[in-house]
Amino acid sequence: MTQQPARIVILGGGFGGLYTALRLNELPWNQSPEIVLVDQRDRFLFSPLLYELLTGELQTWEIAPPYGELLADTRIRFVQSAVSSIDVEGKRVQLETGATLEFDRLVLSLGGEAPLEIVPGAEEFAIPFRTIEDANRLQERLRQLEQSDKDKIRVAIVGAGYSGVELACKLADRLGERGRFRLIERSDKILATSADFNRDAATKALDDRKVWVDLETEVDSISADTISIGYKGQIDTIPVDIVLWTIGTKVAQVVQELPLKHSQRGQVVVTPTLQAVDLPDVFAIGDLAECRDADGQLVPGTAQAAFQQAEYCGWNVWASLSATEGLRSTRPLLPFRYQYLGEMMTLGTDDATFSGLGIKLDGQLAYVARRLAYLYRMPTFDHQLKVGLNWIAQPIRKLLAS
C-alpha cells in the first residue's frame, strides 16, 4: 500500500516562510512531500528595499515579485488566503477562503503587525510602513499634497529606529525644501541598538536634510491634521499632514490564541531547533517566535535573522520527516546559530551606510554594496538575474535619454 506523502504547511510568505519553502524544495527527499505556502497577499515583499519605491529608485516588480512567478519551477503550492484558525493538536489550518489544510509539519512565519491601538487616533490617521499597500497609501497621500497649493508638507515619523531614519531621509530627498520633518523617539538617542558608525552617519544625514529630532518624547494622540507629543510632562500639539508609524510589532491574534507556550509579548517560545516547546511538529520563526539559539543569545526580529532561520528550519523539518519515514540514515536536527552580519541602512537617494564583518562604509560606495548584498539575497536566481540586468541597464538608459 502506497504511503501518502507528508504535507508541510507554511503560514506566511515573508523571508522566513518563503525561504523555508525554497530550502525544502531543494533538499533530497525519499518521498517528496507536499509543500504548501500560504499568504494573504499574492506577492513576496523584499522589505528592506521598500523605501526605494518612494523616490522612484526601484519599481514594484523588482522588490515584490508574485509568488506564482517565484514558485513556477518548484513543487511548492501557493495558496492565497488569510488564516482563520489553527488547530495544532488536530493538525489542521482553517483558511478564510473556507478551505482546510491538514498538515504533518507546520511552520509559523506570519510576521508581525503594527501596534497602532496603543495611541489614540493612530489606527485612524497614522500610516504604518510594512507592506506594499502601506507604501501605496503613502504614495497616494504624497501625490495629493505635492499637487496641492500647500507651501510646506509636514511629516511626523514616530520612531527613530532603522525604519524611521530611512523613511525620513528618503522623504526628505523626495520633497526637498518643501518638506518639514519631525522624527519622534522616546529614548535618548536615535538607532538605540545600532553601531556608533552607523548612528553617526545617520545623524549627519538627518542634519544635512534638516530633519528635526525629538528625543525622550512620546506620542500622546493623533488626529487628522495634528499630533500631540509629550516631553518632560508637557504636551504640545503640532499641525501635521502625514504621520508615519514605525515602532513596535505585535503577534497576530490567531497565533496568540494557540495553546502553546508564549512569551510576554505573545510570541511562540521555541527551542534552538526552532520547534515549539510544546509540540515538536510545529516550527516557528521570525517576528512571532521567541528563540534563543544554540549559544543562548536571543535572536532579534530582523530580516537577516529570519533569512538565516529559514535555512535551519527547512533542514530541521526535512530531518524530522526523514526520521518518521524510517530511513536507514536519519539526519540530526540542527540547533540554530545566529550570525550577526552587520547592518545596512539607506540614508537617502544614492546614499547609505554599512558596518559589519570588519567593514565600515558610507556614502555611494555603501549604497552600491547594500544593493549588491540585497541582490544576492533575493529569493530565486531568475529574479536576481532580471533585477540585476535592469540595474545595469538603468544608467545606460539615462545616458541615452540625455
105/277 Cα distance (integer angstroms): 14
Domain shared by 229 and 130, yes or no: yes
Other CB atoms within a 10 A radius of the CB of residue 367 amount to: 22
Asked, for residue 337, whether it belongs to a domain, the answer is no
**Residue 82: predicted pLDDT:** 96
Helices (H), 245-350: 253-256, 303-324
Asked, for residue 202, whether it belongs to a domain, the answer is yes
Domain shared by 239 and 259, yes or no: no
- The three-class DSSP label of residue 309 is helix
Q: Cell for 48?
A: 528592506
24/402 Cα distance (integer angstroms): 47
Asked, for residue 332, whether it belongs to a domain, the answer is no
Give the domain-ending residue among 289, 324, 359: 324
**Residue 341: predicted pLDDT:** 87
Nearest to 164 by CA among 194, 125, 197: 194
Domain shared by 215 and 156, yes or no: yes
216/84 Cα distance (integer angstroms): 40
Give the domain-ending residue among 245, 273, 305: 245
Asked, for residue 29, whether it belongs to a domain, the answer is yes
Domain shared by 141 and 23, yes or no: no
297/335 Cα distance (integer angstroms): 12
Per-residue pLDDT of the chain (402 residues; tens, 9 = 90+): 456 889 999 999 999 999 999 999 999 988 899 999 999 999 999 999 999 999 999 999 999 999 999 999 999 999 999 999 999 999 999 999 999 999 999 999 998 889 999 999 999 999 999 999 999 999 999 999 999 999 999 999 999 999 999 999 999 999 999 999 999 999 999 999 888 899 999 999 999 999 999 999 999 999 999 999 999 889 999 999 999 999 988 999 999 999 999 999 999 999 999 999 989 999 999 999 999 999 999 999 888 999 999 999 999 999 999 866 554 456 899 999 999 888 999 999 989 998 877 889 999 999 999 999 999 999 999 999 999 999 988 777 766 666
The C-alpha angle with vertex 281 and arms to 3 and 40, in degrees rounded to 5, equals 95
Asked, for residue 54, whether it belongs to a domain, the answer is no
Asked, for residue 59, whether it belongs to a domain, the answer is no
Helices (H), 56-195: 60-63, 67-70, 122-125, 132-146, 162-175
Domain shared by 127 and 184, yes or no: yes
Domain shared by 126 and 235, yes or no: yes
Give the total number of structural domains in the chain: 3
Domain shared by 98 and 20, yes or no: yes
pTM tops 0.85: yes
The domain of 160 spans 116-245
- The three-class DSSP label of residue 102 is strand
Give a three-class secondary structure readout of 325-386. Answer: CCCCCCCCCCCCCCCCCCEEEECCCCCEEEEECCEEEEEHHHHHHHHHHHHHHCCCHHHHHH
Q: Cell for 312?
A: 535551519
200-228, pLDDT tens digit by residue?
999 999 999 999 999 999 999 999 999 99
Residue 224: Cβ-neighbour burial (10 angstroms; 0-12, 13-18, 19+): exposed
Asked, for residue 214, whether it belongs to a domain, the answer is yes
Regarding beta strands 105-108 and 226-231, do their DSSP bridges make them parallel or antiparallel, or are they unpaired? unpaired
Domain shared by 92 and 236, yes or no: no
Asked, for residue 27, whether it belongs to a domain, the answer is yes
Give the domain-ending residue among 225, 245, 265: 245
Look up the CATH number of the domain holding residue 253.
Answer: 3.50.50.60
Q: Cell for 169?
A: 531621509
- Percent helix, strand and coil across the chain, each rounded to 5? 35, 25, 40
Domain shared by 107 and 215, yes or no: no
Domain shared by 267 and 222, yes or no: no
124/122 Cα distance (integer angstroms): 5
62-98, pLDDT tens digit by residue?
999 999 999 999 999 999 999 999 999 999 999 999 9
Domain shared by 318 and 395, yes or no: no
CB 203 within 8 A of CB 345: no
125/138 Cα distance (integer angstroms): 12
Domain shared by 234 and 378, yes or no: no
